[in-house]
Structure 1
Amino acid sequence: MSGTVRRVTIHLELDAGVALVTLEHGRGNTLDTATCNELVIRLEEADAAGARAVVLTGSGDMFSAGVDLLAIDEGGARYVGDFLPALSDAFLAVFGFPRPVVAAVNGHAIAGGMVLAAACDHRIAADGPGRIGVTELLVGVPFPLSALEILRCTYGTTPLPSLIYSGATVTMADAVHRGLVDEVVPAEDVLTRARELAARLG
């Protein structure tokens, strides 16, 4: 509808030189074209504001469930043609941010959500029921080259086949043993720990 104002889906807060970037799009903090574009803009704003480090997290008890599959179903091929470049831009904006980025993985990090976490410099996960994994192939979503390269740079070449082809998800406790996240802390401490580390790294 003409004149409709789209709800903000990425929130930026600056505190003592640390930028807190929070995904807030639907129940799963999913990624659609507009949200990906907004993430790029928020990171540019954080950079312009002189943030020494960034904490990336999700709202509620979910980091990100990845791609907004409903938007893909509704939009079809034309939507996918616009969406994939925007998704790559979002991944690369996190991966290429010129200062430290810490992921506060406050819950499930699935598919594109896991790639976002992998694009960060350090991953702190909340202990609890949250799971992490790359599930794109199970639902038939195209896998951007940028996502593959980010996963390769973060985790190395050897784990990629089992990580990608199986589509499996694991608990955060298992993820820390596999090197998918760097540390696991009580859920109520994940954001505080991420802020503290970001401030130190920055």
Structure 2
Amino acid sequence: MTVTYQLDGAGVARVRMDDGKANVLGDASCTRLREAMARAAEDRAAALVLEGRDGMFSGGIDREVLRDDDAVRRAATLAHIAHTLLAVWTAPIPTVAAVTGHAIAGGAILAMACDRRIGVGGSFKLGVNESMLGMVLPTWAMAIIEGTVPTAHRTEVMLMGCLFDPAGAARVGILDEVVAADGFDDAVREAATGLAEVPTRAYAGNKRMLRGARAEVAAALVAAEMGPGFAKDARTR
């Protein structure tokens, strides 16, 4: 996957994912995402926007990772993915997901790891369909989803494995808002610059208080939960 980085004049880092296909998450793509986040920290970016390309935010974990016969390598890659999404969720600066296409499974969780999620209207699907794939969500994924989706919608999102159009995703809390294509860029820019106005130390400290303890527990369980038994049923499909 190509991950591009650009810092605009307002101090907002724009990180764009594009592999020309489904923007799947694997070892290389997560390394590049972590590098982009590190660069944003070095540049003292005031906020970070994470985006895919038109039609595709991310299709989630690469199926080739799940099907890897090397159990040690598979577990290491899955752990890398988990820790990367937790890093997005606990990033000390404001994060905005600019969702211009499908966000499925781990791709939807990546979007939900961002502090604000703005989607564009269109015939796209968003959701966490792991239940329909025979997968049990690990603690780190549950933490991110529970931090985003209101209690009233968690059965629909987390247990039933429903996929939603953008309006439906906004209804259940996966997205914060859906904007028409002609106003999308302005909406993302306004969200990022608005969040960037919050004093950095206060934002980072309050996010740490809000998510830090849960993230530490989830991170400690990654090795056990993402080991050889993870997604066993899904790997046979």
Checking the alignment, whether the CA contact within 8 Å between 1:136 and 1:142 is kept in structure 2 is: yes
Please point out which of 191, 195, 200 is paired with 1:197: 191
Please point out which of 6, 14, 37 is paired with 2:7: 14
Checking the alignment, whether the CA contact within 8 Å between 2:27 and 2:80 is kept in structure 1 is: yes
Checking the alignment, whether the CA contact within 8 Å between 1:64 and 1:109 is kept in structure 2 is: yes
TM-superposition CA deviations, 1:2-45 (whole Å, max 9, x none): xxxxxx52211110200001111240111011111221121111
Checking the alignment, whether the CA contact within 8 Å between 1:72 and 1:79 is kept in structure 2 is: no
Consecutive unaligned residues in structure 1, runs of 5 or more: 1-7
Tell me if 1:185 matches 2:179.
yes
TM-score by length of 1: 0.88
Checking the alignment, whether the CA contact within 8 Å between 1:66 and 1:112 is kept in structure 2 is: yes
Q: Which moved more, 1:46-55 or 1:133-142?
A: 133-142
Please point out which of 33, 41, 51 is paired with 1:39: 33
Residues 67 and 142 (structure 1 numbering): CA distance in 2 closer, same or farther, change over 3 Å? farther
Q: Which residue of 2 aligns with 1:175?
A: 169
2-structure distance, mates of 1:9, 1:38? 8
Q: CA RMSD in A?
A: 1.8
Q: Which residue of 2 aligns with 1:118?
A: 112
1-structure distance, mates of 2:167, 2:35? 33
User: What are the residue-to-residue correspondences of 1:85-100 with 2, within 5 Å?
Assistant: 85-100=79-94
Q: Which residue of 2 aligns with 1:78?
A: 72
Tell me if 1:161 matches 2:155.
yes
Q: Which moved more, 1:180-189 or 1:122-131?
A: 180-189
2-structure distance, mates of 1:91, 1:157? 21
What amino acid does structure 2 have at the position aligned with 1:11?
Answer: T
TM-superposition CA deviations, 1:110-155 (whole Å, max 9, x none): 1011111111111110101111110123234563321110111112
State the 4+ residue runs in structure 1 displaced beyond 6 angstroms: none
1-structure distance, mates of 2:65, 2:78? 12
1-structure distance, mates of 2:116, 2:20? 25
Q: Which has the larger radius of gyration?
A: 2
Structure having the higher helix fraction is 2
Checking the alignment, whether the CA contact within 8 Å between 1:118 and 1:154 is kept in structure 2 is: yes
Tell me if 1:146 matches 2:101.
no
TM-superposition CA deviations, 1:144-201 (whole Å, max 9, x none): 3211101111124453332122111011111222222111111343233212220121
What amino acid does structure 2 have at the position aligned with 1:100?
Answer: P
SS in 2 for 1:79: helix
TM-score by length of 2: 0.76
Q: Which moved more, 1:58-67 or 1:134-143?
A: 134-143
Tell me if 1:106 matches 2:100.
yes
2-structure distance, mates of 1:121, 1:78? 33
Tell me if 1:50 matches 2:35.
no
Question: How many residues in Structure 1 have an aligned counterpart in Structure 2?
Answer: 195
Q: Which moved more, 1:41-50 or 1:133-142?
A: 133-142
Checking the alignment, whether the CA contact within 8 Å between 2:130 and 2:136 is kept in structure 1 is: yes
User: Kindly, what percent of the aligned residue pairs are identical?
Assistant: 37
2-structure distance, mates of 1:42, 1:53? 13
2-structure distance, mates of 1:146, 1:170? 22
What amino acid does structure 2 have at the position aligned with 1:201?
Answer: L
Checking the alignment, whether the CA contact within 8 Å between 2:57 and 2:99 is kept in structure 1 is: yes
